[in-house]
Amino acid sequence: MATIGTSGIEVSLLCLGANVFGWTADRDTSFAVLDAYIAAGGNFVDTADSYMWRVPGNSGGESETIIGEWFAARGRRDDVVLATKVSSLPTRKGLAAANITAACDDSLRRLQTDHIDLYYAHYDDRTVTQEEYLDAFDGLVRAGKVRAIAASNFTAERLRSALEISRRDGLTEFVALQPHYNLMERADFEASLEPLVEAEGLSSVPYYGLAKGFLTGKYRDGGPEIDSPRAPGALAYLDERGRAVLAVLDEIAAGHEVAKGNKITVAAVALAWLAARPTVVAPIASARNAAQLAELLPVLDLKLTDDEVRLLAQVSA
């Protein structure tokens, strides 16, 4: 377990991404994935009010609704650190104070809970002042509806100014950042955001931890065609650098023992590298079914050696 920034909230080393719930995973399959994740010792689930409004027939909130129904059916709310987000659902877009308050209440209803553990600003909103939205988030914390707040997809400049404003005005501060970061996408985060996050004592919770599925090792030269909405994005990484990364992941995975009955997979090694980074508390990865989840679960107990971490850093640079 690891602690999110200064929040005191402890989470498992794998955050289960729920963006597939109500999209490529229906209600029953989503329940099975949640059941298996909790049974394996995971406790950190990430969603958003906008998941998955772009899917034909959806309007947004489908992922939250499924999680809420799972809470009601299983009675496991206290076993989960729940993260959700505001600002990108078209009917609740942006970070105006009134919108944040209304969106939080909407999420709480869908999730069938009285509090959100970690509430993200999904995207920054330059149409309102940072003072306005930080004050709104602070109000939710004071009301007991939110335990801690965080930022997603913020630039270093805007994250720094948000922290400065919160301190100046005595408001609740962001404790974490959710950036796009993985072995194949390192430059943007490491150049400007990582030093700031580390200096400020925040935690990173990276999304696309498996580079749209490429780091599962399923996308290779001459490999079978993968039926997935993310396949085109994953295949874009299949170049000389990508092949070299996969080769090292294969080597490291083969060198580790089976953990708790689960074979060490390429995906688990890629996520373990992220978990070993200085600011990362838990990488996010999603699973369309229980079989895919089983490939990720070894990361909960997998610790790479310093040499393995350095080798992956070198080959992916």
Which residue, chain included where needed, has tokens 């330059």?
126
Residues contacting residue 123 through CB under 8 Å, at least 6 positions apart:
87, 88, 152, 153
Residue 295: C-alpha distances to residues 67, 89, 136 (Å): 22, 31, 39
Sign of the dihedral defined by the CA atoms of residues 97, 98, 99, 104, in that order: positive
Q: What does DSSP say about strands 15-17 and 284-286: parallel, antiparallel, or unpaired?
A: parallel
Angle at 190 between CA 189 and CA 192, to 5 degrees: 75
DSSP characters over 55-119: STT--S-HHHHHHHHHHHHH--GGG-EEEEEEB-SGGGBS--HHHHHHHHHHHHHHHT-S-EEEE
Question: Six-digit token pair at 135?
Answer: 């004050």
Q: Which amino acid is at 43?
A: N
Residues contacting residue 269 through CB under 8 Å, at least 6 positions apart:
249, 252, 253, 256, 302, 304, 308, 312
Residues contacting residue 66 through CB under 8 Å, at least 6 positions apart:
18, 21, 22, 27, 30, 31
CB of 282 closer than 8 Å to CB of 299 = no
Residues contacting residue 18 through CB under 8 Å, at least 6 positions apart:
30, 45, 46, 47, 51, 63, 66, 67, 286
Catalytic residues, by residue number, are: 51
Q: How far is CA 294 from the centre of its chain?
A: 18
